[in-house]
Chain A
Amino acid sequence: MADPAFSRAGPGRRLRPELFVGQADASPQAAADWSRRRILLTDLRAVRGRAYPRITGLFREKSWLFFEILLPFLTTSAFVFVYRALQAPPEYIGFVVLGGAMTAFWLNVVWMMAAQLYWEKDQGNLELYFAAPMNLMSVLLGMALGGMVMSSTRAVAVLVVASLLYGVSFEVDQWLLLLAVFGLTLAALYGLGMILASLFLMWGREAWHTTQLMVEPVYFVSGLNFPVARLGFIGALAVATIPLAVGLDAMRQLAFAGSQVSLLPPLAEAGILVAMTVLFTLAARWSLRTLERRARIEGRLTMRWQ
């Protein structure tokens, strides 16, 4: 005898099945046949979709502003007082304020890009992303775009408050180049984050340890609180490999015209950033494809219990 709980005509609310009917295609074959334009638009809309929760979260969770503005600001302030006590050249105050602002982006890349696919898997989102018809790069780009918007707010807040409080005066001769270098730095930095996102997922639980391992060394060799040129060979190596190091070095030269503490001219460093952006984006695409292939073959990575 059938369980009454499984009755087809239950006592529930009256359904309006007509609302289920969407814009149906004539057949599954027609529905699966997408034009190049539709594929491209889907990928772009997926970028927008994935960026949405991050941008919305910016206005919804005010506590993040406290943790990610006040705390980095305190660190920046500590360095400002040290430089003042040492009677360092005034542009050093500007260097550390700029570095403090850029910290927001690095933290965002580490915690909300690199570790994100790992979180997405735990939440059960990853397999839905894989099962959707968009290019997975759209998800990473959306995460990156949303992250940039989130972090920009924090970076601007740190920059403005610290500059006013500590009397930083910027001397910018080449505004366009400064903006271009800033944009390229973010592109290269988030490109690196996209690669790490796939790699961290493949490394499984080691991701956490790796993340924690990377934070402080990158802080150091990126010269967030001092000119990276002071590190000599290590600084040069950092400039060649870490987007934050090369970007900061270029931005400091452009924001404080006449600064002599640098490794390479800004244009050369902009060239390095362009190369990094291209390289990291291609590598991210490759690693994501590898991830998907491995996920399908090995039966893990996308599924929560595996």
Chain B
Amino acid sequence: MTAPVQRVPAIEARDIRRTYKARPRDVVALDGVDLDVAAGEFFGLLGPNGAGKTTLIKILTTLLAPSSGTARVFGFDIEGDTRKIRRIMNMVAGGEQSGYGILTVREQLWMFSQFYGMPGAVGWRRVDELIEAVGLEEQRLQRVNSLSTGQRQKMNFARGLLNDPWILFLDEPTLGLDVSAARSVRELVLAWQAAVSGRTVLLTTHYMAEADELCERIAIVDHGRILAIGSPTDLKRRVQRESVFRLELDRLDGGPARLFRLPGVVSAVLASADGHEGTEDARQTVAVNLVLTDDGALGEVVAALAPLGSHIVALAKSEPTLEDVFVELVGRGFEDEAEAPPPDDGLTPAVPQGAHEAGEPELEDVV
């Protein structure tokens, strides 16, 4: 007897390893990854370039076989049930240039709808709905090769929804987009997941703020290993051994030293209006960065302000970022390591030099 449908996790991966043949030595892209993602969850894989995020997505989308280990998507084995998995999933990657530039947005999406077996008329109708949903009505009859990067990514996102996927794999979906376009894509993802219940999203990103804002849970990945899994709040709490507050007062006679002597206060220093250490700001208030042993010490500080004649103008708790978590786990930041080069198997195809000069068609024109 099979388990009830709602109990089947979206992803179960056990001890996944993946090695690429390369010179001078093989590249270990994944080194024993265990992962569980619940149905309906918005899950993120956060890590620097070359961490193994994309390799894991390729394995889960059945495009790549693991060197060892097992994985299931909604209970379907990635090795034996590839067709079933492909029926219920879809994927969108950042910087994707898929399709044919000669087609219009509408035609391109319809073409992809056919690959998922939609009847012709149903496909056109669904395409029109999704074009409207992602806000490309004005571009619907525009050729794909004339779209901006942001418009193109919206179209790619619409393509990813054509088959109403139960699990959507987003591989760096906002890569290369400007702030506004990236925000639009994120809004679309959230709107889609809110509109269709029970759908799962697996997002890879190296943008910490993106992972923080979108994901219910995050796995921090580096060098093919998952270093930590949890909600953004939980992960940040791991590195938050002390409570940090920014306290803004109308006055503070005697300076922050008056607060430093209070029980539970680790440090108290003047902060500038923009958060950096400094002096009184232009509004004639005093901002103090307070580091406390725990949140409970805040009461003592507040109680001590009245006898000093100080009134609180603003109080905010400073949270650690996911970057702090990554640094804590790895001992370095995202930018400290260059992107791992792709394996060189000597077989990487390339457009021959001079092909375009010789009158060969541009890639997007090849149909």
Which one, A21, A34, A306, contacts B87 given CB within 8 A?
A34
| A26 / chain B contacts, CB cutoff of 8 Å | 5
Chain B nearest CB from A201 CB (Å) reads: 8
| A134 / chain B contacts, CB cutoff of 8 Å | 115-117
**Are B8 and A38 closer than 8 Å at their CB atoms?**
no
User: Which residues 77-131 in B have Cβ within 8 Å of A in the complex?
Assistant: 81, 83-91, 93, 96-100, 102-103, 107, 110-120, 126, 129-130
CA distance A131 to B318 in the complex (A): 43
Q: Which residue of A lies closest to B360 (CB)?
A: A111
**Are B115 and A129 closer than 8 Å at their CB atoms?**
yes
Which one, B88, B117, B366, contacts A42 given CB within 8 A?
B117
Chain B nearest CB from A14 CB (Å) reads: 9
**Are B135 and A13 closer than 8 Å at their CB atoms?**
yes
Q: Mostly helix, strand, loop or mixed at chain A's interface?
A: helix
**Are A22 and B212 closer than 8 Å at their CB atoms?**
no
The interface size bin for chain A is: 35 or more
Do A29 and B5 contact each other (CB < 8 Å), given the known contacts A42-B116, A300-B345? yes
| A299 / chain B contacts, CB cutoff of 8 Å | 18, 20, 55, 58, 64, 343
Does A137 have its Cβ within 8 Å of any Cβ on chain B?
Answer: no
Of B112, B117, B190, most buried by chain A (CB within 10 Å of CB) is B117
**Are B188 and A122 closer than 8 Å at their CB atoms?**
no
Does B352 have its Cβ within 8 Å of any Cβ on chain A?
Answer: yes
**Are B97 and A23 closer than 8 Å at their CB atoms?**
no
Do A22 and B183 contact each other (CB < 8 Å), given the known contacts A133-B83, A207-B349? no
Does A260 have its Cβ within 8 Å of any Cβ on chain B?
Answer: no
CA distance A303 to B57 in the complex (A): 12
Q: Which residue of A lies closest to B131 (CB)?
A: A19
Does A118 have its Cβ within 8 Å of any Cβ on chain B?
Answer: yes
Does A176 have its Cβ within 8 Å of any Cβ on chain B?
Answer: no
**Are B117 and A41 closer than 8 Å at their CB atoms?**
yes
| A13 / chain B contacts, CB cutoff of 8 Å | 135
Does B1 have its Cβ within 8 Å of any Cβ on chain A?
Answer: no
Chain A nearest CB from B359 CB (Å) reads: 8
| A54 / chain B contacts, CB cutoff of 8 Å | 367
Which one, B166, B179, B319, B350, contacts A1 given CB within 8 A?
B319
Do A205 and B352 contact each other (CB < 8 Å), given the known contacts A131-B91, A306-B342? yes
Chain B nearest CB from A122 CB (Å) reads: 6
| B112 / chain A contacts, CB cutoff of 8 Å | 49, 128, 132
Of A12, A129, A138, A300, most buried by chain B (CB within 10 Å of CB) is A300
Does A15 have its Cβ within 8 Å of any Cβ on chain B?
Answer: yes
CA distance A148 to B364 in the complex (A): 21
Does B365 have its Cβ within 8 Å of any Cβ on chain A?
Answer: yes
**Are A296 and B98 closer than 8 Å at their CB atoms?**
no
Q: Which residue of A lies closest to B210 (CB)?
A: A6
| A306 / chain B contacts, CB cutoff of 8 Å | 20, 342-343, 345, 348
User: Which residues 158-187 in A have Cβ within 8 Å of B in the complex?
Assistant: none
CA distance A21 to B120 in the complex (A): 19
**Are A296 and B107 closer than 8 Å at their CB atoms?**
no
| B161 / chain A contacts, CB cutoff of 8 Å | 20, 22
**Are B115 and A205 closer than 8 Å at their CB atoms?**
no
Which one, A34, A52, A130, A298, contacts B21 given CB within 8 A?
A298
CA distance A123 to B100 in the complex (A): 9
Does B63 have its Cβ within 8 Å of any Cβ on chain A?
Answer: yes
- Interface pick from B191-199, B257-265, B285-293, B297-305: B191-199
- Interface pick from A55-63, A86-94, A280-288: A55-63
Does A99 have its Cβ within 8 Å of any Cβ on chain B?
Answer: no
Does A36 have its Cβ within 8 Å of any Cβ on chain B?
Answer: no
User: Which residues 39-89 in A have Cβ within 8 Å of B in the complex?
Assistant: 41-42, 45-46, 48-50, 52-54, 56-57, 60-61
**Are A12 and B184 closer than 8 Å at their CB atoms?**
yes
| B99 / chain A contacts, CB cutoff of 8 Å | 123, 125
Does A5 have its Cβ within 8 Å of any Cβ on chain B?
Answer: yes
Do A296 and B65 contact each other (CB < 8 Å), given the known contacts A7-B183, A46-B117? yes
**Are B188 and A15 closer than 8 Å at their CB atoms?**
yes
Does B213 have its Cβ within 8 Å of any Cβ on chain A?
Answer: yes
CA distance A7 to B195 in the complex (A): 19
| B196 / chain A contacts, CB cutoff of 8 Å | 20-22, 24
Does B175 have its Cβ within 8 Å of any Cβ on chain A?
Answer: no
Do A131 and B117 contact each other (CB < 8 Å), given the known contacts A53-B103, A300-B345? no
Contacts A2-B213, A53-B367 given; 18 further ones with Cβ under 8 A?
A8-B187, A15-B135, A17-B192, A20-B133, A28-B5, A32-B84, A32-B87, A42-B115, A45-B117, A46-B115, A60-B102, A61-B102, A61-B365, A123-B364, A124-B93, A128-B91, A130-B62, A299-B343
Of the A-B pairs whose beta carbons lie under 8 Å apart in the complex, a sample of 24, sorted by A's number, is: A6-B183, A6-B186, A6-B212, A18-B195, A19-B130, A19-B132, A20-B133, A22-B163, A28-B8, A32-B88, A33-B84, A45-B119, A49-B114, A53-B102, A112-B367, A116-B366, A124-B98, A131-B90, A132-B112, A133-B86, A133-B117, A133-B163, A205-B348, A305-B342
